Every structure is written in structure tokens, then in C-alpha cells.
Amino acid sequence: MGAICNSATDNYASAGIIGLNVALVLAERGLGSRVMVIAEHLPGDTSIKYTSPWAGCNFSAISGSDANALRWDRLGYAQLTRLESLEGEKSYIKRTPSTEFWDEDVPHDKIRAMSEYLEDFRILPSGELPKGVKFAVSFTTVTLNAPKYLEYLHRRLRDQHGVHFVRQRLSDIYAAFSDNNTRIVFNCSGNEAKTLGGVEDEKCYPTRGQVVLARAPGMRRNVMRHGKDYVTYIIPRPGSNGNVILGGYLQKGNGDGSTYSYETESILDRTKKLALELSENEPEILAVVAGLRPSREGGTRIQREHVIVHGLERSLVHNYGAGGTGFQAGYGMAIDAVQSVDDILSTLKSDKLRLKL
Ligand SMILES: Cc1cc2nc3c(=O)[nH]c(=O)nc-3n(C[C@H](O)[C@H](O)[C@H](O)COP(=O)(O)OP(=O)(O)OC[C@H]3O[C@@H](n4cnc5c(N)ncnc54)[C@H](O)[C@@H]3O)c2cc1C
């Protein structure tokens, strides 16, 4: 799950990047000690049922072009660059030079919106484009060491904001209200929203991606190539002493957690063509993994529902279906999810106020 808000505690959610962002936004409002994060998998764990540690992970133009996606990207970029400036290496986020190439289907509206806020944004002149590329941009992106960033957020929420973390598998979403003081539950259950009792959202499906973790210390920039039926990317991993994530795949509806050698070969072949740093110095393969992006027909669901549990009126806020963008969009999504219960949250005393009493 994302973040649950109880009333001794007041809110509840789960421990993927979506739930941690909800907990963060609540903590920034001074409600940290009222938040309980309940999850089967916590930062530091690995499981095919826990997508977040498998993310590449960067900010890119891969997200949608609808108004929400554009807004969440903007909020996410501002939050991640701010955190990098404040916390530096401790956060496992790094400002990194990035180039993105498109073979066709250039998302011009999205790129126009991104050009307004991305640092060092530039459209590459046609003379600089590689063969087969129609359009390209360069800018300063943020790259994240996904598993370490999750652990950083976990520590920060627990130690600085007093957020409670509980490892527990919930039989259904209503089990999150088992404490009668729990007034709000944020359902941030990722792929499990399809089967979780009380949610059972038929629109959810996984989008599989296989990636290669490799050692390539000479590779210090982010590169992506968006093709008609493929995506290739190279993402240096901050705080890893020269490791990179090489990808990838976007296999809609594929929930297979296995990895395949022919996919590894294709990833190595494609990424070496994209960067001389890799073709000139053979990357050392450290691991090959597959992850399942929690996707949803119609896009992300952020929606407040009124529910009656044990005869009490309660709020259930759904926040899932981030697909391939949970790290870059998660903070903006959390702001929307939290705002949807502003009427309840504004009646709660913040930690600051409670300390004064
Ligand atoms: C290969 C790959 C590359 C990616 N690259 C990027 C990238 O570069 N940038 C980017 O922004 N995004 C990227 N993503 C996408 C990103 O990883 C996802 O959007 C994000 O991790 C989704 O997070 P989540 O919190 O919704 O789900 P999850 O991380 O799966 O978390 C779900 C949580 O809910 C808990 N839970 C579920 N059901 C229950 C239950 N019944 N009881 C208790 N707990 C439960 C789980 O234990 C877990 O804590 C990538 C994904 C993949 C696979």
C-alpha cells in the first residue's frame, strides 16, 4: 500500500514510490506522525510484486501528454532537483546531462511544455542528428538510484517526520481501516490494484521491462531513443561507483518476471549503438532483471471514494496506475491525492501544533 492516515496516526498508504510520496506530502504538511505506511514489501526488499526498486531511473519525455501528466512532470522535476540541491549525494539523485532521440511520433506538445522548465533545454539542429532520428532534445535531467532512493525516503520519513512503517499483507483494502481511528486510506497498491479485494480494477495491467545492470564508469550521461516499437535507454546510477542501467522494453500486458538472454543481447546491441562510451569499453554485466510497470487503461487513477467501514464514514483515496513514470510523476500525483481530502486534513493538528500543546 501507499500511505494510511490514522487518527492516533490519521492516514495510511503503501511503500512503493507512490505511497512514499503520499507520506512525504503529508509529512511536509506537518502530519508525519499521523501517517502509517502499511505494506507487504518495504524499501530494501526485492520482489516481482514490488516494482519500484526495478526502475531505471530517470526523468524523461516518456510520460503522457495530457494536462495531468504535464503538471505532474513539472512538479516532479522541481521536487527532485530541489532535493538534489539540498541533500546532494545523500539523496541518491543526480543532475545528469541527457539527450533524447525520436525516430518518429515526436510528442511536440509535451516537449514544448517541458522546454519551459527543464534546465539547459536545447533542440538539437538537424545536422547533429544520427541516422534515422527525426528529432532530438538535450537538457539536464535527474537520474536516481531507485532502490537507494527508496531507502533514503524511508529513513527520512521515519527518522525526521515520525512516519510509522508496518510490514503487513492486507487481505483487502478495508483491512487498512481496522483501527477505528483511521479516517483516510490512500490506496497505492500498484499492480495489485487489479486483484486487491475492494478495488479489483479490471483496467490495470502490467507493462514488462527487462533491464541490464552493468558497470561502465565512463558512461556519465543519460541517453534515450524512442522508436516506433521499441525504447532504448542508458541511465547512469548515482552513488553506485560507475554502474548504469541499460534498457529496455515496454511490453504491454506481459506479467512475466523471468529474464531472457536474447533480450539482454538486444539491449546491449542497441545501447552500444547509442553511446560510444559503451561500444569502446565493453560494459561488465552485473545483473539482469525484469520489472512490471503498473499500467492502467485510461491512465493513472487518483480518486476519492466515500466508504462506510464498521458503520463509520471514511475516505479511501485511490492513487495507482503510474505505469513507467512513478518516480517522475509520483510527487505531483501525491499532491493531487492529498488535496482530495483537504477538508479532513485541515481539521487535524499538525505535529508542530501538537508539540506546542
Ligand atoms: C524496468 C522499469 C524501468 C522504469 N523506469 C522508470 C523511470 O526511469 N522513471 C520513472 O519515473 N519510473 C520508472 N519506472 C516506473 C516505476 O518504477 C513505477 O511507476 C513505480 O515503481 C510504481 O510504484 P507503485 O508504488 O505504484 O508500485 P510498487 O512499487 O509495486 O509498490 C506497491 C506497494 O504496495 C504494496 N502492496 C500491494 N498490495 C498489497 C497488499 N495486499 N497488502 C500490503 N501491501 C500491498 C506492496 O508491498 C508495495 O509496497 C520503471 C519501471 C520499470 C519496471
Tens digit of pLDDT for each residue in 129-178?
Answer: 999 999 999 999 999 999 999 999 999 999 999 999 999 999 999 999 99
What's the whole-number mean pLDDT along residues 265-273?
97
For residue 190, report the distance from its CA to the centre of ligand 1, in Å.
6
Work out which ligand 1 atom sits closest to the CA atom of 328. Answer: 11
User: Following DSSP, what letter does each residue of 201-264 receive, concatenated?
Assistant: -TTEEEEEEEEEEEE-TT--SEEEEE-SS-EEEEEE-TTSSSEEEEE---EET-------HHHH
The domain locations on the chain are 1-57+145-203+297-357, 204-296
What SS3 class is residue 336? Answer: helix
What was the pLDDT predicted at 140? 98
pLDDT at residue 9, as a whole number = 46
Give the length of the chain. Answer: 357
Q: What is the position in ligand 1's atom list of the atom closest to the CA of 39?
A: 44
What would the pLDDT profile of 300-341 be if each residue is shown by its tens digit? 999 999 999 999 999 999 999 999 999 999 999 999 999 999
Residue 57 pLDDT more than 60?
A: yes
Cα–Cα distance for residue pair 293/306, rounded to 1 Å = 28
E strand or H helix that includes residue 278? helix 276-280
* Average pLDDT of the chain to the nearest whole number: 93
Asked if pLDDT for residue 187 goes beyond 80, the answer is yes
4 lines ligand 1 (CB under 6 A): no
Contact predicate 2/132, CB 8 Å: no
Q: Which residues are 314's β-sheet partners?
A: 307
Question: Which three three-digit cell numbers place residue 295?
Answer: 499500467
| pLDDT value at 124 more than 80 | yes
DSSP 239: T
Is 204-296 CATH 3.30.9.10?
Answer: yes
Contacts of 58 (CB under 8 A, 6+ apart): 96, 98, 141, 142, 143, 144, 222, 224, 233, 235, 327, 328
Query: Which is more confidently placed, 355 or 123?
Result: 123
DSSP character string of 153-180: HHHHHHHHH--EEEE---SBGGGGG-ST
Determine whether the shortest distance from the Cβ of 208 to ligand 1 is under 6 A.
no
Residue-wise pLDDT for 8-35, tens only, equals 345 555 789 999 999 999 999 999 999 9
Spell 53-71 as b/e; 16+ CB within 10 A means b.
bbbbbbbbbbbbeeebbbb
Which of 12, 14, 80 to mutate to test ligand 1, by most ligand atoms within 8 A of the CB atom? 14
Q: Is the pLDDT of residue 352 over 60?
A: no
1-57+145-203+297-357: which CATH architecture? 3-Layer(aba) Sandwich (3.40)
Phi, psi angle pair for 340, to nearest 5°: -65, -15
- For 125-138, the pLDDT digits (tens) are 999 999 999 999 99
